[in-house]
Amino acid sequence: YGQRPQYDDMGTVMIGVSLPIWAGSKQLPLRQEMQDMKAVETAMAKDLYNETVAELTEARADAERTRVLGTLYATAILPQSKAAVESALSSYRVGRVDYMTLVENEMTVNRYEIALVQLAAEYHQAVARIDALLGSIGGGQ
């Protein structure tokens, strides 16, 4: 190339071609690795979504269960047990039942009142879990 005579009207053109000789052994595995990493991230996101939905469903079921039981205790069981105490007290005053029956009825009322408070606490815990899962603050009843 350097041995050619120098002509003014002569030009030089160079062409370069890049041949992907190493593409199969270097670049393609990197592409596959990136695709695999993307698939793993997608699977992890779907798993997190499924776990959140499952926890949300469980928390909602807990809230509904405790709400229904709390309503049952407040509207039916507790009033009936209080009526039983009043009846036992009246019967005790006239001598029909002994003192232990009256005390047992009163303790039953106390157990139901404690259970009602526990149900209310469980309900509010379930609502708090729902709020935490949904990202809301104070949105539950």
Q: Is the pLDDT of residue 116 over 70?
A: yes
Rounded distance between C-alpha atoms, residue 63 and residue 119, angstroms: 9
69-92 pLDDT, tens per residue?
999 999 999 999 999 999 999 999
**The pLDDT value given to residue 42:** 97
At 43, the pLDDT band (50, 70, 90 cuts) reads very high
139: in domain? no
- Kindly state whether residue 121 falls inside one of the protein's structural domains: yes
- Long-range contacts from 63-66, C-beta under 8 angstroms, 24+ separation: 63/123, 63/126, 63/127, 63/130, 63/140, 66/119, 66/120, 66/122, 66/123, 66/126
Residue 113 belongs to domain with CATH number: 1.10.287
**DSSP string across 15-41:** ------TTIIIIIHHHHHHHHHHHHHH
Domain span at residue 127 reads 23-134
- Of the candidates 87, 26, 62, the residue with the CA atom closest to the CA atom of residue 140: 62
CB of 60 closer than 8 Å to CB of 110? no
Confidence of residue 111 (pLDDT cuts 50, 70, 90): very high
User: Structural domain tally of the chain?
Assistant: 1
Q: Is the confidence at residue 141, as pLDDT, over 90? A: no
